[in-house]
């Protein structure tokens, strides 16, 4: 239990850095003009393929792992 208490903050720091990197690497669907009503055609729905799909699922998995590590940290404290 002591080992888990000492390593869990390091795991959370690594996971949070990976989540930030995965989010920043994802492509945005709309440009700044799309937020104000212009450029509606380029901001449509598109299917994720290849690396974009892998990065999307990796972000979800990293977020779940971070949430689980936070819960474990809460229960052992």
**Structural domain boundaries enclosing 17:** 2-76
pLDDT digits 0-9 by tens, 30-46: 555 555 555 555 556 77
- Mean pLDDT within 2-28: 93
> Is 19 within 8 Å of 66 (Cβ atoms)?
yes
- Mean pLDDT within 50-63: 95
In this prediction, residue 29 carries a pLDDT of 57
CA distances from 31 to 41, 42, 49, 56 (A): 11, 8, 20, 19
pTM of the entire predicted model: 0.76
Count how many domains the chain has. 1
In this prediction, residue 46 carries a pLDDT of 73
């Amino acid at each position: 239990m002591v080992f888990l208490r000492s390593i869990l903050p390091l795991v959370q720091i690594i996971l949070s850095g990976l989540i930030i990197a995965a989010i920043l690497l994802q492509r945005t669907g709309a440009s700044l003009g799309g937020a104000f009503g212009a450029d509606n055609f380029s901001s449509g729905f598109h299917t994720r393929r290849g690396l974009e799909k892998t990065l999307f699922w990796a972000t979800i998995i990293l977020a779940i792992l971070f949430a689980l590590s936070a819960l474990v940290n809460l229960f052992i404290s």
